[in-house]
Amino acid sequence: MFRAASRSLRATKYRPKRLVEPARMFSVSTIRTEGLRLNSLDTFTEEESMFRDSVKRFAVDVVGPKVREMDEKESMDPTIIQGLFEQGLMGIETSAEHGGAEASFVSAIIAIEELAKIDPSVSVMCDVHNTLVNTILRKFGTKEQQDKWLPLLSESKLGSFCLSEPASGSDAFALQTRAKKDGDHWVINGSKMWITNSHEAEIFLIFANVDPSKGYKGITCFIATKDMGVQIAKKEEKLGIRASSTCTLNFDDLRIPADNIIGGEGKGYKLAIEILNEGRIGIAAQMLGLAQGAFDKAVPYTYQRTQFGQPIGTFQGMQFQIAEAAVELETARLLTYNAARRKEEGRSFTKEAAMAKYWASQVAQHVSGSAIEWCGGVGFTRETGIEKFWRDSKIGAIYEGTSNIQLQTIAKFIQQEYSR
């Protein structure tokens, strides 16, 4: 559905209608620079709006009925994964030539946000697959690698990004996994930890050091398949995003063809840094969608629940809390889409991505926690699903760079700007 829609829209390129402006207008300020119209951050192309509507329908109709069962079983329903592929949501930016939707980066962010409004577990699966796995192959893979792997990743095979290890979390480049050359193969030994999608994935991007004497400059990215001998070990039992698998992986003399190096020997650290900056915008979108999902579930209840002769949402104390949450949501949305647009425009976005991820994760925890309180005892039960949003929110401050790492990144940019 997404592939057909995006191709149709590309054939008839979307152009916003030109507004006819009166001679004097005091209520509207329109800025133009040589034919460029500057729009608000919540202005989307026709294609992006279609993506939002379609993903929303899929999330509500297909994902929604399975959320509680998947959470309690701590397992992703295979039909959800299949549905994501069938809907074209696993190759959003990938070219049509490689089976993808060939849509914008913002479209990917929209999809992640809309899925998270219903189930952040499904959202992060889609996020990691698109913004990390697919993007590395699209940006750094050879033509032969793209022709081989991207169609599989677009149409049927789930991908996993394998960087973190027991001794290398925030210090990602202290990894201990090693790779040694053996003829026309590389042999990998080591382990990975906290790996998203790993239980269901069939394609793995593995970061290993080919020359420890060079430090992080020896880190190299390899592509492997499960049937090569990737061992799925312990599956973590987590506080939140339970349906999203998080496992330990072991590699014992894992043989990978030399052609499966992505980006060249010793270039893995560069790939990881660049890709994780993009991935942080994806996590910001996930946390934004999560917070909005909790808000959308809880607020209507406050106008239905009556105490002391009036809906609880009409008491001033509640009104102020709801209003503050709405402001927080809007600020997180603006930060997230500003970072996404900057990335799409080819401008620097590392600081903006860090800001978006940091703030969206804070907002997700605050809004989802408040949503429980607004609904009282009902919000504390599993029946409503509101408490799940709060449990899911905690991971936002941890993965793809902790909140402290985001603040450190932001502070470095401030120092560079003001210490000249």
Active site residues: 400
Cα–Cα distance for residue pair 195/14, rounded to 1 Å: 39
Q: How far is CA 53 from CA 114, 342, 387, in A?
A: 9, 23, 26
- Radius of gyration over every alpha carbon of the chain, rounded to an integer in angstroms: 22
Coil, helix or strand for 88?
coil
β-strand 185-196 against 246-257: which pairing, if any? antiparallel
Beta carbons of 389 and 68 less than 8 angstroms apart = no
β-strand 32-33 against 203-209: which pairing, if any? unpaired
Structure-block tokens of residue 357: 């991820």
- Sequence-distant (6+) residues with CB within 8 A of 100 are 3, 88, 91, 92, 93, 94, 134, 150, 154
- CB hemisphere CA count around 406 (13 angstroms): 27
Query: What is the per-residue burial (b if ≥16 Cβ within 10 Å, else e) of 148-186?
Result: bbbbbbbbebbbbbbbbbeebbeebbebebbbeeeeebb
Coil, helix or strand for 292?
helix
Coil, helix or strand for 165?
strand
Structure-block tokens of residue 91: 């190759």
- Sequence-distant (6+) residues with CB within 8 A of 184 are 257, 258
Which is nearest to 5 in space by CA: 49, 50, 43, 44?
A: 50
In DSSP notation, 202-245 reads SEEEEEEES-GGGGGGGEEEEEEEGGGT-EEEEEP--SS-TTS-
Cα–Cα distance for residue pair 349/251, rounded to 1 Å: 35
β-strand 159-162 against 203-209: which pairing, if any? parallel
Structure-block tokens of residue 241: 């995003």
The rounded Cα 330 to chain-centroid distance in angstroms is 18
